[in-house]
Structure 1
Amino acid sequence: MANNSSLVGSEIFLLQFRDTVIIVQVLVIIFLCINFLLIITFFRKECFYTTTRYILFAVTLLSDSLMLVISDFLVIVNYLEFTMQVWICIIISGLGIVYNIVTPVTLTAMTLERYVAICMPLRHAELCSTRSTMHCILIIHGFSSVPCIVVLSTFFASASLSFYKQHRLCTGELFMLHRWQDHVRSAVQEFYFLIMCGIIVFAYLKIMKAAKAASGEDKKSSRKGLRTVILHGFQLLLCLLQLWCPFIEAAVFQIDFMLFINIRVSNYILLSLTPRCLSPLIYGLRDELFFQALKNVFGLYKRNI
C-alpha cells in the first residue's frame, strides 16, 4: 500500500513538473519576443546606439536573451534526463555563469550613469561618451567572467582527464567535486553581492540628496532618476538573490529531493525570469523616447502583417 502511494505521489509530481516546464517555455518565448522587438527598436535610431544608458540597456537585453536561451536549454535537457559529455557542459555552463552576472553588473553601471548624469552633469558628456561606454562594456564582461574563472579553475584543479569524457546531467553541482569548492564559490558571490549593493545604496543616497537640493526642471529630472535607481535596485536585488540560491538549494537537497526540485524551479521563475522581464518595463515603457520608437516599430510590423 505504501509503495502504491509512493508511486502515485511520484506520478503526480512528474505531471506537475511537466506542466511547470511547459509554463516556463511559454514565458521564455514571450520574453525573448519582447527582447527581440526592443533590440530592433534600439538599432533603428542613432540616438539610442550613441547614448550610454541605451547602449547599456541593449547589453542587458542581449545578455538576458542569451541567459534565457542557455538556462531554458538546460531546463529541457535535465527534464528529459539527457546526459552530455562533461566538456560540452563546461562550455554551456561557463557562458551561463558569465551572462548570469553580466546583467546585475550592467545594472550597477546603469545606476552609476544616472548618478553621474544627476550629480555630476558637467562631466557627464566626458565620462559617458560612446568610447567610454565601449570600454565600460569590456570591463563589465571582464568583471563578470571572474566567478566563472574561479569556479572552473577549482574544477580543473580537481577533476581527472577521464572525467571530461563522461556523460552526466549538466547541472551546477557537477563542478562541485569537493566541499571547499562550494565555499570558494560562495565567497566570490558574497563579495559581488556586497559590492553591487553598496554601489546602489551610494548612488541612491547621492541622487536623493541632489533631488532635495534641486529646483524646477532639475528637481523633476532628479526625481525621475531616483525612481529609475529604485527600479534598478529592485531588479538588481532579485538578480543578486539568485546568487544565494545554491546555498538554499544545497541545504534543501539534504532534506527532501522533491522539495529541492520545486524550490529550484521556483527560484528559476522568480529570480531568473522575473528580473529579466523588468528591463523592458524600466526602459521600454517608462522612457518616453524609447517608448515612442517602440510604438513606431510595432505599428510598422502591424502594417506589414
Structure 2
Amino acid sequence: MAANNSLAGDDLLRQHVKFVILQVLVMIFLFINLLLIITFFKKEYFYTTARYILFALTLLSDSFLLFMSDILLIFTQFYITIQVWICLIIFVAVLVYVTVTPVTLAAMTLERYVAICMPLRHGELSSMRNTMNCILIIHFLSSLPCILILSTFFGSASLSFYKQYQLCSVEVFMFYIWQHNLRSAVYQFYFLVMSIIIVFSYVKIMKVAKAASGEDKKSSRKGLKTVVLHGFQLLLCLLQLWCPIIEVALLQVNFSLFEIARYLNFLLFYLAPRCLSPLIYGLRDEVFFQALKYHASFGISL
C-alpha cells in the first residue's frame, strides 16, 4: 500500500514538474513575442511595409492562440469546468486563429514571390491598402472552417446543453465521428492549398535565383530559405491538427500514454511552430534584428 502511494506521489510530482516547465516555456515565448511586437511598433518603416505587417499579424495570432491554449491546458490540469456557452466563445476565437497563422504564412510566401519574381509590381501590390485588404481576406478565409465545424454542433446540441458544465475542449462540440472526419478534411484541404502555394513560389523563386547574378542572386537565395522555413512551419501546423485525433486514440488505450502525448504535442506542435516566426523575421532580417537588439538592450549600444 505504501509502495502504491509512493508511485502515485511520484507520478503527481512528475506531472507538476512538466506543467511548470511548460508554463516557463510559454512565458519565455510570450515575452519574446512582446519584445518583437514592441520593436515593430517603434519604427514607422515596419508598420508601413507589407511583409513586416504580416509578420506582426503572425506574432499577434500566435501569442493569442498560445495564451488561450495555455488557459485551456490549465483548466484541464486542474479539472476546472465551465459552462458550454463560455467554452463556445473561447473556441470560436481559438478555431479562427488556429488557421490565421498558416494562411498568413501563405500570404507572406506570395509576398516574397512578388518581390523577387515581379519586382516592378511589388510596390503596387504590397501597398498599405492592399495589405489591409489582405489581412481582412486572411481572417475571412480563417473563419470559414470555424463556421463549418461549429454549424454541425449548432444543428445537434439542445439549448439545455449550453448551460452544462464541462471541461473545455474541442471534443465538447463533436458528438459524432463524422464531425471529427469533417474537421480533418476541411483543415487538410486548406493545408493542401497552402502547400501548393509554397511549392509554386519556391519553384518560381528558384528559377529566378538560377538566372540572377550578384545582389539579385543573393536576395533570391535568401527568399528561397525564407520560403523553405515557411514550409517547415506550415508542416508543424499541419501535424498539430492530428494531435487531438492521436490523443483521443491513446486515451482509449492508456491514460499515462495520453498524458505523455498531450505534453509532447503541446511542446512540439504548439510551442515549436510559434517559435519559428521570430527566427524567420526577427533574427534573419537584418533591419528588424538591429532594431530588436537596440530595444532588447534598452537603447544601449552593443
For normalisation by structure 2, the TM-score amounts to 0.95
Measured against aligned partners, the alpha-carbon deviations of 1:124-166 in whole angstroms (never above 9, x if no partner) come to 1111111111011011111111121122111111111000000
Q: Aligned in 2, Cα 1:159/1:234: closer, same or farther, shift over 3 Å?
A: same
How has the CA–CA distance of structure 1 residues 119 and 80 changed in structure 2, closer, same or farther, with 3 Å as cutoff?
same
The 1-side partners of 2:93 and 2:22 are apart by 21
- Residue 233 of structure 1 aligns with an amino acid whose one-letter code is G
CA distance in 1, matches of 2:27, 2:17: 16
Give 1:61's aligned amino acid: L
Structure 2 residue aligned with 1:113, among 102, 111, 114?
111
Aligned to 2:295: 297
Counterpart mapping for 1:175-214 below 5 A? 175-214=173-212
Q: Which runs of 5+ in 2 are unaligned?
A: none
Distance of aligned partners of 1:184 and 1:293 in 2 relative to their CA distance in 1, 3 Å threshold: same
1:200 and 1:184 map into 2 onto residues whose CA distance is 24
Moved more, 294-303 or 238-247: 294-303
Give the Cα separation in 1 of the matches to 2:91 and 2:5: 33
How far apart are 1:97 and its partner, in Å?
1.3
Find the counterpart in structure 1 of residue 227 from structure 2. 229
> 1:11, CA displacement in angstroms?
3.6
Deviation of the 1:179 alpha carbon: 1.5
Q: Which runs of 5+ in 1 are unaligned?
A: none
**CA deviation digits over 1:25-54, x for unaligned, max 9?**
101111111111111110111110111100
Q: How does 1:132-211 map to 2 (within 5 A)?
A: 132-211=130-209
Relative to structure 1, is the Cα distance of residues 52 and 18 closer, same or farther in structure 2, using a 3 angstrom cutoff?
same
- Percentage of pairs with the same residue: 65
Partner of 2:52: 54
| 1:155-196 deviation digits (Å, cap 9, x = unpaired) | 111111000000010012111111121111111011112111
Q: What one-letter code is carried by the residue in structure 2 that aligns with 1:209?
A: K
TM-superposed CA distance for 1:300, in Å, is: 2.4
Name which of 15, 19, 22 aligns with 1:21: 19
CA shift for structure 1 position 197: 1.2
Partner in structure 2 of residue 102 of structure 1: 100
Contact 2:236 2:269 survives alignment (8 Å)? yes
The code of the aligned residue for 1:194 comes to L
Q: What is the aligned-residue RMSD (CA, Å)? A: 1.6
TM-score (norm 1): 0.94
Q: What's the counterpart of residue 281 of structure 1?
A: 279
Distance 2:186 2:5 in 1: 41
Written as runs of structure 1 = structure 2, the 5 A alignment for 1:55-70 is 55-70=53-68
How far apart, in 1, do the equivalents of 2:43 and 2:159 lie? 50
Distance 2:115 2:5 in 1: 61
